[in-house]
Structures are given as C-alpha cells and as structure tokens.
Structure 1
Amino acid sequence: MPSSVHSLYYNNNTNTEKKQQKNEIKCNFTILSGCYICYNQIKERQKSLKGANSYRKEMIAMKNKKLLSAALALTCVLTAGACGGGNGSSARPASENTAADTTAPVETTPPATLKEEDKAAIEEIETDFEELENKTVRLLANFDLNPAAGKPKSVALEMFETKCGGHIEPILCSWDDRYDKLSTMVLGDDSPDMFSAEDLDIFPGKVIEGKFQAMDDYVDFDSELWAPMKHVNDMFSIKGRHYIGATSTDAGVVVIYNKKTIEENGLPDPAQLLEEGNWTWDTFYDMIAKFYSRPDEKFGIDGWEFENAFAVTSGVPYVDFKDGKLVSNLENPSIVGVQEFMLKLKRNDYPVPKSEYGWSVHPENIANGKTLFFPQGSYVLFEPENKAVFGDPEDVMFVPMPKCPSADAYYLPSVIKGFSIPMGAKNPKGTAAYLNCVMTCRDNEKVKEIEQNQVFEDYGWTQEMYDMLLKTRELTEAHPVFEYFKAVNDDVYDCVLNPSKETYNAGIPWSETVEEIKYELQTLLDTANEKLDSLTN
C-alpha cells in the first residue's frame, strides 16, 4: 500500500509527536482535487492524476454545457445546480477541480422546441407582465440560457420571450475567467445585466467588493409572487437589501446507489428508509458496516463531494451569516458531532482509499457492486449515458444525504437557482422580468406537467426518481443550509476548505484542526464584518 496521510496517523506516537509529524506532513503535501498528494510522489502519479482530473473535468463540463439545459427546462422542479453549483457539490468547480474551459462550442443541431399545445398552455397563464422597452438581457456566464443543441426549451424562457418580448444574449467565458471578465466589463461601462448566483460565491464577498447591486428596486421580494422564496432570499440580504434573486433550491449533493447491490447484500432500500423517516446517519453507517469488506475491495463511499455535503446535514455550516454578520461555527457542538462521525468512518476504513486507486474516483463500482454509495450532484443523472455508469436504468436510484439523528429536521447541502444584477447593469428591469417569469412558472400545475413529461421523454427518468427529486427539493427548501465560507474571500476559503476535510481524509481529530485555524478564521471574519458594516449600496 502506498504511503499516505491515512497510514501515517495509525501509530502509537504521543500527541506532541503527532502534532510535529502533522506539521511536517503539511510542509510536504499539497492538495490536489481534494486529495493529499506527497510532493516526491507527484511525478510517479502524474498518469493517475491525469485520469482523476479527466473524470472531474468531464463532470464539470457535462454539468455546465449539457445538463444546464435539462435543469433550465425543469425550472419549477429540477434545480440540479447545473451551472457549476455549489458546493454542495462544489462552489468552485474549475479552480478546485480543474481549469476547464467551459465556453460553449458551436452547435449545429437545432434545439428542441416546445410542443404547440404546451406553447398554448403557457400563453393561457395569466400574468401582468408588460413588454420590455429594452428587450435584450445580457448574461455573463459559462453557459447559455438558450437551449443547447437538441435540448428542450425552458418554459420560463418561452414565457419571457412571448409575454415580455425579451431575449437572453449570452456572453460566454470560462468558469475561471468570469469574475475577471465581469470586472473588465464593469470598469469599461459595459456591464452585463445578469450573472448566475448558483455557485453561491457572490454573497457576501463579491457584494463587499462592489461587483453587484441590490435588486430591490427591480424585484419585489415582499410580493405574493416571491413569497415561496422569501425565507431563502432573506438569507442573502444586508440591511434589508437583497443581492440574489433565488427562484428555487435543491440539494447540492445526493447519495447515488444501485438497488441491485442493495438487494444482493440484504440491505434496506434507502428510499424506503427515507419514506419511513429512518434515513439517518445511523442507518447510513450500519449499511456501510455490513457491506464493507477489505479483502473483497468493497467500500462504503466514493466520490469527491461527500465531506462538505455531509457536514451541513448537522444543520450548522462552518461559517454562517446571521443578523448581518459572518459567524464561525468551528466549535459548535453540531459541527463537532459531524466531524466525530466522519472520523469514525475513516478509522474503520469505510471510504474508498483513493491513494490505492490512482487518486481517482470510480462511479462504475456502484454498478459492479464494489461501492455502496456515491455522493454527487443529481445533475449527473440527467444524461442516460452518464446515468448508465452507475448501472442499469431500472437499478439506479438516489436519496438525499442522511438526517442527523439529533437534528429536528432534514438539513441538506443547499444550492439555489437564481441570478444577481452586476453593478452598472444597463437593463436590470429585463433581469427582473426574466426572474418574474421563472417564479410564475415555478408552481404552476400545467408547467409542472410539461416539465415532468420532459424528464421522462428526454432524460429517461423513472417515476421513482422523479418523485425522489421532488421530495429532495421539498426537504431542502423547508430547511435550507448554505455554507458561507466559500463566498467571503479566498483567505477564508483556504482557511476552512481543506482543514475541514482532514478528519475524513487523514484521520486527524477535529479538535487539533480547530486549534490551528480558529483564530485565523475569526480575524478574517472580523475584517469582513467591518466591511459589511460600512456597506451602503
């Protein structure tokens, strides 16, 4: 077995020796794709790492180019985080995983159009929208709201075009370049009108930097139309001013599994456990413990997205935003509890040991019965060829992350579908009009019917999967939890991200990590809070 952080920590050293050893390790290790890679082994592992990055690049590119159209076509119910979301799956897909260029390629196949009867049904929906004077809304993003080749059109986009006379003009750039591009455009008095908020990295950091303006002059967040999302949008407000127009929420990460594997190992179906109110950390752990077999190379969990997604099931983020202030929760009992649970998983060898598999993940092991659970964004299931990696279509299923036994509700790693208005935007009214169309479609029964048909016809989903998606969204929207450390600045992000994963990846007790980072984090948050206090926009 190759040397790894995991193996180095199973020894009988004293606490002092462990801390010394830990500091030495930190000097000789770098973080790459969420894994610990020893510098003197990098050259030997380049081939394996290339494979790992290729997988992550494929997932990111698929999410940003292919599956965005799927999520947009299902505006009311499918908020799959298809534009680089968060964190849940990861709020920084390109910088954390790979510097992939996600600029959309030239497509020659025309997009699918809505059926004539569906267009007629949309036309019949009563609205009080007025035709826009400025009909062009410029969107800066690494995706296009207009449907991709062969993909169905969003119902909300159809309404925006027919009832408001609007048109979305994409300004495409790579994920990594979007903020540099935005700064250039703002300074050049050429600001775009709309910017995706789905990565959850705008608020509050980019607001502090002056890149975005409050939306309240254009969007009536207190109106009946926006009432279903008021509790969410209020989480992204400062002094009563809102900086994100979130139209829906979804779980950023779900737990994908193969029903055949579950049955063959005599395990309870997680979907059934959820229905019974018994899909918890305890049942999650018990299933893994029964399934695990080191001699047979059978492990409980694979994937890159587990640690941060699981942490927020406690109901408490590492960094929260309360009463206009950023707050550290590193020593909160709920955070301590979730870290102790992840340490228990690690010490029992239940996660797939990536160091033994070329620092790559293997979703195909879900299909062949070697891995039990694969936490990942539900976007991965929107393309039949990608869903097939996990097994036969009738066997692939998912559930939300398990519930913390001591929590009063399901708290899930939350992402949003929504947009913000950049500073200096020339057509903020156009952005507001589009968002109002999305909200109008959101809970309309006829729209839901149209979108449900699209799920079955275009993406090959089963009724069971569709029902689970609705259930997951319902649970998320009832008690959304957003992780703010990814959205303050790079220093806060770096201070928390990798240390928060050390328990699960390296077996390092959380108490040691907290002592190392808590003062630095508090200083960084104090500085950010001072800037929030002085914000006047």
Structure 2
Amino acid sequence: MKNLKRTLAMLLALSLSAAATACGGNSSSESEGRTKSQDDVSIDTADSAINAGDPDIKGQTIYYLGIYDLNPTANQDRTVALTLFEDVYGAKIETIKTTSETLFTDLANRINGGDPVDMFDYQWDSVPNGVEKGQYEYLDSYIDLSDPIWDGMKDLIEKYKYKGHYYVVPYSVSDYIAITYSRTLIEEEGLTDPYKLYQEGKWDWDAFMSSMKTFVANAEDGETRYGCAGWFGQAIVQSTGESIINYDGKKFSSNVMNEKIEKAELLEEELTRLSLFDPTWYGTYPNDGSILYYGMAPWHLGQSNVMNPDGDLFLVPFPKMPGSDKYYLCGNAAAKMLVKNSDKGDAVAAYIKCERLAATQAEYKQAAKEKALIETKTAAGKVTSYLTEEQYDFMQTWYSSEDIVPMFDFGYGMGTRMSNETYAYETRGVMNNFMDGLLQKYEGTPGTWAEMRSAWQGVVDEVVDEFNAKQ
C-alpha cells in the first residue's frame, strides 16, 4: 500500500508539473497552437551574421520527434534558439508529437519505415545503446568544435565521445538537481543558510546532515518532520565525482567497488536508518513545514514559489562530498541527436549552433532571462508560476562556475538491464537500484549497500562484456 500511494502521488505530481512548466504540453500528436502573433520579448536579428560561412539551409524543414513542441504553443514566446533558426537561417522545425511511453518505438518505426525524422532529443539510452542499434549519425562532419562558442563545453562533450565520434554534442547543461529550501523556515529553526555555507565553500554532506538532524530534533510532540524529500539518490552518488561505468575511449569497465561510491551509499543507509528521508513524491516544495530540503531539478521552482508565498524560497547546488574541491552535479545534458538516414545534417547542426549561441551570447542570454521572468498566468489572470530575479541570476552562475562539474555515466545508456525505471526492485535497472534503492526501499530491496552490490555486480560485468564485444 505504501508503494501504491507513492506511485499514485508521483504520477499526479508529474502530470501537474508537466502542465505547469514552460516546456509542458499535452502528449497528443496535435499542437495546441499559438494564441499570440508575436513574441513579448523580441530579438533583433536584422544584422545578425551568425550564419556566415555556414551551409545555406534556407527553406529547409527539420522533422523533430519529441514529447514537447519546439514551436511555441498557447501564449508562449519563441525560444531564443528557435528565433535565430527561423529568422537568421530561414529554416523551420516541424514537431512530430510522441509520448514518453512510445518515444523509442516511434523513433524505430520511423527509421525502419522511411518516414521523415531528422532530430531527436538526447536521452540516457542514446549512447551507447542507441548508437549500437543504428539509430543515430555522428555530428563530426557538421559541427566545428574548434569554434570558440564551444569553449567551456568541450570537457563535457569529450565525456560523451563514443568510438572516436561525437554523437552527442551538448550545447548546455540544465536541470541540475538542486536543494530548494525556505529561508523563512531556516531562520525560524536557527540554522545557517545553505547559501551562506555554499559561498564559504562549506556546503558539504556534513553540513547537510547536521542541519537536517537539528531540524528533526526540533520537532514538537506529535509533529512529524523529515530532513529531505525528492530526487536524492542519484544526486548523492554522483556528488562523489565517480561513475558506475567507466569508459576509456576503447573499453568499458565496472567501478562498483569504488570507495567514494561506497561512502555515498552508506550515506543513503544513514538517511534511511535515521528516518531523515521522506520517500513520498512531492511535485513542489512542501508548504507545511515538515520538510527542510527538497531535492529536485528547478523545473518545480516557479510553481513552488506560488505554493509558498511566505516561504522566501531559495536553492543551492547539491552538497559536495567532504574534502572535495568541486561540486559534482547530476543534471541533463541539453543535446539533439541527428537521426540515422536524415539528409538534414546541416540544418540540425545549425539548430544546435543556435541553441549554443542562445546559451552563451550576452544579448541572447539577456533575452532568455526576460522570457524566463515572465509570469505564467491563467486566462483569468491568476499567476500559476514565476521565478524571482535573484533565483534566476544565481542559478545561471552554476553553468559558468569552475567549481561545478556536470556528471555523466554511460551506465544509463546500456540497455534495460542497466537502466529501467520501474517500481519493483527485481525489475528495476542496476543503475536505478544503485542510485536510490536504499532510499526508496521497494519490496525486496536489501538493507545494505554491500548486499545490493553483491546481488547486481554480476549483471554489471555481463553488460560491460557485452558492449566491449561491440568495440
């Protein structure tokens, strides 16, 4: 019953958040359409020369298979990248809508059936599994990685390099798992603001645990408190800077015996043993004062602000491992894949370039900020989501800080034995169990890291051998 309630709560939260966030939309094959004829925040592209020297793609249409429409719907503005792609390059994107359940089936059917499809979102399964299935082309011939616009991203791009080629070229990193908290609640509890600790380089596991223990200990008789809730397992393990699967450019190897990973798993054991972690799925930061820290990518923040008008919400990166000089964070690599057999390689590369320019050029970043700070309202004028300028500005510093390193693990892209998000311990992927099994405690989950590692280590070795045979 506990797992059923958790699952239903998760599904409800996800459906609400999808409807409320800027990237949200329905999952049907039809676009909602746009209710305004021009953008609220315009971008002057009249004198832009960003396409100088690039192949002429004017009049071309990219067929993009995705869950969400890259074109604006309802009262949305065009994104900066789409504006550049349409107004400077003279090309357009047609979205072929799919769902999270049929995403990969639809991709395979279109490739095999010869139906048009050129571009697809990078997914965890894209590399190496998707490449080995023959679903993608590499981008080496289309993108000039020596262009200065790729400075600051090259280290991450190299992490994704597979068999000597660049199938995945991230143009930005988004949705770092962050810790959202109420500054009002922190002050009421007499705790040190995590932002202050972060600024002083002291925001680590020890500070994180200490504040949660104090918060829970301060509970009055009959009051139930937890230190944290949300997406924590992956964030904890990857904050070590270690991956479950390593790749040296030629061979994969298992890293499950790593001492840092073991320390992260022991931290998860402690969170469970002390009842500091609440496994309930919350779609927004809880507004009842029962949770100190909410671990989640910032997609929730706009709605959480509305739900917590007096909370003075803020957020910080996930705490680092004690002794580390870096914050290793799990997030999403924003990238687009060039689909196998597409004849629009130049156009897809141009769109990727537009996304990179939007993420790095000052004038475009300012426009993106102005768009992000526009309140989301219902037709009746009720505010349903908003970000504060302070929140937005601080989050942007994460993407240029030398102290923050985005994490990537090939283990998520090695098939369903390794990555499969179900709600049963025996059928979940190894990566899923290793990341949060000790926190979620699905039926049959061992109580210790040593037991779990022993149970799944053989599967890891088998999968590693399988993919090494394809090198």
TM-score normalised per structure 1: 0.77
SS of the aligned residue for 1:257 comes to strand
Structure 1 residue 388 and structure 2 residue 306: aligned?
yes
1:257 aligns with 2:174: no
Post-superposition shift, 1:292?
Answer: 0.6
Match of 1:338 in 2: 264
Q: Secondary structure of 1:286's match?
A: helix
> Are 2:439 and 1:513 equivalent residues in the alignment?
no
**2:369 counterpart (435, 452, 470):** 452
2:242 aligned residue: 316
Whether 1:206 and 2:141 are equivalent positions in the alignment is no
Distance in 1, Cα, partners of 2:256 & 2:198: 29
- Which of 13, 23, 26 is residue 68 of structure 1 equivalent to? 23
1:98-144: CA deviation from partner (whole Å, max 9, x where unpaired):
xxx7336653552573358x432x33343214541551011001111
SS of 1:408's equivalent? coil
Other-structure match for 1:192: 117
Q: Percent identity?
A: 22
Deviation string, structure 1 residues 410-446 (Cα, Å, up to 9, x no partner):
1111311110111111211110111122223322111
Name the count of aligned residue pairs: 444
Task: Give the Cα–Cα distance (whole angstroms) in 1 for the partners of residues 170 and 435 of structure 2.
Answer: 27
CA apart distance, 1:393: 6.6
Report the residue type matching 1:387 in the other structure: N
Aligned amino acid, residue 337 of structure 1: K
Question: Which residue of structure 2 aligns with residue 429 of structure 1?
Answer: 346
Please name the residue that 1:298 is paired with. Answer: 225
Unaligned 5+ segments in structure 2 are 377-385, 420-428
8 Å Cα contact 1:191-1:426 kept in structure 2: no
Alignment of 1:160-199 (within 5 A): 160-197=85-122, 199=123
- Tell me which amino acid in the other structure corresponds to 1:410: Y
Q: CA deviation at 1:62?
A: 3.5
State the distance in 2 between where 1:470 and 1:486 align: 27
**Distance in 2, Cα, partners of 1:324 & 1:216:** 18
Equivalent residue in structure 2 for 1:367, among 273, 287, 294 = 287
Name the counterpart of 1:124. Answer: 47
Quote the offset at 1:476 in angstroms. 8.2
Separation in structure 1 between the aligned mates of residue 209 and residue 146 of structure 2, nearest angstrom: 43
| Secondary structure of the corresponding residue to residue 375 of structure 1 | strand
Question: Tell me, what secondary structure is at the counterpart of 1:156?
Answer: helix
- Equivalences for 1:35-184 in 2 at 5 Å? 37=3, 49-59=7-17, 61-62=18-19, 66-68=21-23, 102-103=27-28, 106-107=31-32, 109-111=34-36, 113-114=38-39, 118-120=42-44, 122-127=45-50, 128=52, 129-132=54-57, 135-184=60-109
Partner amino acid, structure 2, of 1:201: D
One-letter code of the match for 2:466? T
Deviations 1:46-89 (A, max 9, x none): x6753442223333x347xx4227xxxxxxxxxxxxx9xxxxxx
Change (3 A) 1:196 1:106: closer
CA RMSD across the alignment:
2.5
* 2:202 maps to 1:244: no
Call closer, same or farther: CA 1:478–1:402 in 2, change over 3 Å.
Answer: closer
Determine the structure 2 residue equivalent to 1:87.
none
Per-residue deviation at 1:524?
A: 1.1
Deviation at 1:191?
4.2
Q: Pick from 139, 145, 164 the counterpart of residue 221 of structure 1.
A: 145
Q: Structure 1, residues 288-310: CA drift from partner, whole Å, max 9, x if none?
A: 0000146410111112x111122
Q: Check the 8 A contact 1:233/1:246 in 2, yes or no.
A: yes
